[in-house]
Structure formats: structure tokens, C-alpha cells
Amino acid sequence: MTTTETSAPNGDTADGAARRPTSPAEPTPSKEVVLDLHRRMVRIRQFETEAGRLMEGGRLPGFLHLYVGQEAVAAGAMSNLRDDDQISSTHRGHGHAVAKGAQFRQMFAELFGRVDGYCKGRGGSMHINDLSIGMLGANGIVGGGIPIAVGAAFAAKYRGDDSVAIPFFGDGASNIGAFHESANLAGILDLPVVFVCENNGYAEFTALRDHMKLENVADRAAAYGMPSEICDGMDAIEVRAAVGRAVERARAGGGPSMVEAKTYRYYDHQGVKGLRKAYRTDDEVKAWRERDAIKLLEARATAEGLVTEAEFAEVWTEVDADITESVAFAEDSPFPDVADIALNVYTV
């Protein structure tokens, strides 16, 4: 458990400020948990790497907002959730979907615009959803997924079950009215929702220091009467622990909370080659890459004798094979029939 400023009796900070992690680090969990975190991150990394390659090669239509670099956040958060727990995502949503259990076949088919995709080829990169695993959808509108997750949390409380909802959003989205309205409503109604901010330092091309006065997005939670915690978004174990505390609190009826994960995207706002580089330096990107979440977890687990290098290598090999088979499946999938253009389109 991390410790910070003087804590109130309920474990929240007495002054309402965000809890900040300090030494010592979270203890290493079991081998089973480590391998689960690792597999989720490798699946995200390899899916995104292949999707980026396909887009740059002209084989995928449209644009992709790659999640590479932020894998520890999705993996750590989702390792605490059940299928009946629901999440909402962002324009950078592939990582959340994959970590929640989405399958490569349907994911790639959707990116290729084919009928075997999650949205039958109609949603594309920014609208993938799978209600069977609680993935309410990615969202092309900045902050647009936040009220959706809060609505899911309201439904859970109304039903009287113990499921929770997590909206993922970036630092830039914390400036959007939808965030503030959602946080206010969640606080008033004590909803079982965990707001997870993936603070990668940039709102598209704008550095955090240029779009908000606060250094920490989590400090905004106090305004809505909810506790918050800041964690290292490049450490899957730390993310898992922080989100786990918030999820446990929500399940027990303790209401909403926020977790801010300090993380970084390796590529530009969209694509692999990117649109521009002037807004961040090569040295900055290099420094973050040296703290790669997957490499850090592998190094820690092997140094402690918990997992062997061979066991980690096997995961990479298995995921690579799954990627190859799934891309072939997607390319063989048919395009939607123009005769079905009105299918699943409704009027009121």
C-alpha cells in the first residue's frame, strides 16, 4: 500500500489531495498475476505494432491512434475487473479493448472494415465495442466516453449488484465539460465508478503545462468529494494495486474515486511516422522508452526468479502466431454488402 500525506481515517488524504506513491514499491504479486499482466501488455504491444505497420503500408483504411507505451495502464487496471464490469474508452482505445479480452480476429476485421469485425466493419478504429466483455466502446469524441461509464455505474447501483465501471480518459479530456459533469454526478450519487486518467503529458500536441494550471489531474477529484491516487503508469504492478484499491472501494459501496497514471505514448498522436515532431524532443521519447513497461516487468520478475526468460519468450511467440492468423482471417473476411446499408440503423 502506498503512503503519502497524513491520511484520514478512511484512508483518503486529510486535505483532499491525491495520494502519491512513495517507496517502497508495491510488492511483486504471484507468478500467475505477473504472467497475466505480461500477456495483456504483449498482446496490446503486438496488436498495435502490427496495426501500425498495416496502416503505414496502405493496407488499412483511415487513421490509428496507437496505444504503444501505455500498456501498463490498461493491463494493470483490467486485471482487477470481471466481464460484468464495464469500461468506456477513448480514440486511443485498442489497448483497453484487448486488455479487457477482445479477440484479435474481430479487432483486425473491424480495422479492415469487414463484416466479421466487432461492429460488422461499420465502426472502425475509434468505435470498437464488445458488450459481452463489458467494453462499451471507444469514442472519437474527447471525453465522450466518460458519461457513458458513469451511466453504466448508475445502472449497476440501480440494479443493486457489485459491478463497477471505469472510464479511461487523457489529461486533455479532464478539461472537457463532460468530465466535470460526470465527476460531479458520480460524487453526488456515490456511484461505483473509477475514473482512470492516462496522463501521457500531451493533449494531442499541447503539453499539459500549456493547457491546465495543475500539475496533477488527480487533484481535481477533491472538488467532487472523491479520493484520488497517482501511480507510475509505466509499472503494471503499481497500476494494478492503485486501481485495485479503487475498485474494491467501489464494490463495497464506497463511491467513486480517481486514479491518475503517469504514462507516455511512444508514437505521435496518430500513426507510426506521425504528423509532426516539434512539440517533443527525441531525448524525451528516448528517456520514456528506457522505462518500457514490458521490459521493466520482465526484468523484475526474472531478477526475483519468479518467471524465466524462456517463459516470457513463449508469450511473445504465441502472440505473434495469433497476430499472423488473425490478420489472414480479417483479410479473408468479406466487405459489408451495400444492400445492408440500413441494417441496425434506427429512427424514433
Tell me the pLDDT tens digit for each residue of 230-263.
999 999 999 999 999 999 999 999 999 999 999 9
- When pLDDT is averaged across residues 273-286 and rounded to a whole number, the result is 74
Contact by Cβ (8 Å): 79, 240:
yes
- When pLDDT is averaged across residues 126-143 and rounded to a whole number, the result is 88
Confidence of residue 19 (pLDDT cuts 50, 70, 90): low
Q: Is the pTM of this model over 0.85?
A: yes
Instruction: Round to whole Å and give the CA distance between 237 and 293.
Output: 10
Which cell is 251 given?
464494490
- Domain map (residue ranges) of the chain: 31-340
3-state helix, strand, coil in the chain (%, to 5): 45, 10, 45
Contact by Cβ (8 Å): 108, 329:
yes
* Helix and strand numbers, DSSP H then E, in the chain: 10, 7
* Residue length of the chain: 348
Which cell is 104 given?
484479435
Which cell is 33 given?
498475476
Confidence of residue 20 (pLDDT cuts 50, 70, 90): low
| Residue 116 half-sphere exposure toward CB, CA atoms < 13 A | 16
The answer as to CATH 3.40.50.970 being correct for domain 31-340 is yes
Contact by Cβ (8 Å): 256, 213:
no
Interior angle at CA 79, CA 125 and CA 265, nearest 5:
45
